[in-house]
Amino acid sequence: MSEAVQRVPLWRRWVVNPIVNQLTQGANPQRLAMAVAYGVVLGIFPLLGTTTLLSLAVGIPLKLNQPVLQIFRELSYPLHLATILVFIHAGETLYGAEHLPLSLSLLTEKFFASPSDFMKQFGMLGVYAISAWAVVAPILWATIFFIARPLISHLSQRKPAIVP
């Protein structure tokens, strides 16, 4: 008979193990914490379909750990969807613009109906959202980095015991 398959919790499989694997290969804990922070912050950039290229554009010149960066960018996708309208409304407030009643389904429908009309009608919303994100991003990055750095350093000291 075969051994019982041991179930690995999602948190460990998707967050802890990739970091431990990189530490095992000699990655620097501080650089991994930077990749985690950039992954989340770039992962919530408020324009759909841009986060992967944006992560590559930032991660390659900064020599960030791409596997960790991309994993955390992808893990932040639910937060990305949840914050798009928040960034749009915050940007409208920053610019003193009128708040438009919006939903993601409305924006998606309008975009696929006619991308050019969508850009004419809603193009400034992208500017508003990016502006609000740019205000929040440095604070969020620092918060995530300063939380992740000691946690990853702790993992680096325990790595032989953690790797399955």
Task: Read off the pLDDT band of 162 (50, 70, 90).
Answer: very low
**Cα(64)–Cα(104) distance, integer angstroms:** 32
**Longest pairwise C-alpha distance within the chain:** 69
List, in sequence order, the alpha helices (H) in the chain: 10-11, 17-24, 29-43, 51-59, 66-75, 77-95, 104-113, 115-162
Segment 9-63, tens digit of pLDDT: 887 887 888 888 888 888 899 999 999 999 999 999 999 899 999 999 999 999 9
pTM of the model: 0.85
Q: Residue 34 falls within a domain, yes or no? A: yes
User: Structure tokens of 61?
Assistant: 């010149």
What residue type is 134 in one-letter code?
A
Given a cut of 80, whether residue 159 has pLDDT beyond it is: no
Is the CA virtual torsion 73, 78, 84, 86 positive or negative? negative
Number of domains in the chain: 1
Task: Read off the pLDDT band of 1 (50, 70, 90).
Answer: very low
Q: Residue 155 falls within a domain, yes or no? A: yes
Task: Provide the residue count of the chain.
Answer: 164
**Cα(93)–Cα(12) distance, integer angstroms:** 39
**Which residue range is the domain that position 53 belongs to?**
25-162
Segment 66-82, tens digit of pLDDT: 999 999 999 999 999 99
User: Structure tokens of 13?
Assistant: 């499989």
pLDDT (0 to 100) of residue 4: 54
